[in-house]
Amino acid sequence: MSKHIRLKGGAVTFQHIDSPVGRLLLASGEDGLRLIEFQAPWHPVAMDGDWREGDNGVLLETRKQLSEYFDGIRQEFDLPLAPHGTPFQLQCWHTLALIRWGETWSYGQMARHMGQPTATRAVGAANGRNPLPIVLPCHRVIGADGSLTGFGGGLPTKEFLLNLEGALPRRVPIDDLFAM
């Protein structure tokens, strides 16, 4: 099985932007935003077919909303989304959209919410292929024990995003504990 993901269905407009979590690739089709890809993705998109570097209304609005998110102003995204995946993946990604700013769910909670309590590993695999991280917040899904587990942007990025949202307890350096 190929590690690369292929986007199907017409022309794709793309651009790269800089962000607090590194360079991101944004891509949209006529149907909406299709991709936000980190600099070193686990499952990179194969840029074959009709890919054009450029700008359009969807990418402009995505840049604006991502900027507001990173500035701590925006807690929900309002973008036309067009992720392509299997029916199970789409169900998982739809469920991700239910996890609110500042909250975390475990993979098991997510599977139970989907009515498939034994699908914890499948949920993890689908989240690993989420083509719209940050907007569909797979970073908000953590291990059952509260640990930060796999994330396509890397665990430091996941920790950064969760800290931005106030979803992780503030860590107090050990020296500060003894100074109190």
The catalytically annotated residue of 36, 58, 96, 138 is 138
Q: Is 92 a catalytic residue?
A: no
DSSP letter at 171? P
Helix (H, G, I), strand (E, B) or coil at 12: strand
Closest CA to 132 of 68, 89, 71: 89
Q: What are phi and psi of 24, to 5 degrees?
A: -120, 145
Contacts of 90 (CB under 8 A, 6+ apart): 83
Beta bridge partners of residue 81, listed in sequence order = 33
- Tokens, residue 34: 């299709």
* CB-based burial label for 162 (10 Å; 0-12, 13-18, 19+): buried
In the DSSP assignment, the letter for residue 133 is: T
Regarding beta strands 12-17 and 51-53, do their DSSP bridges make them parallel or antiparallel, or are they unpaired? parallel
Residues belonging to the active site: 138
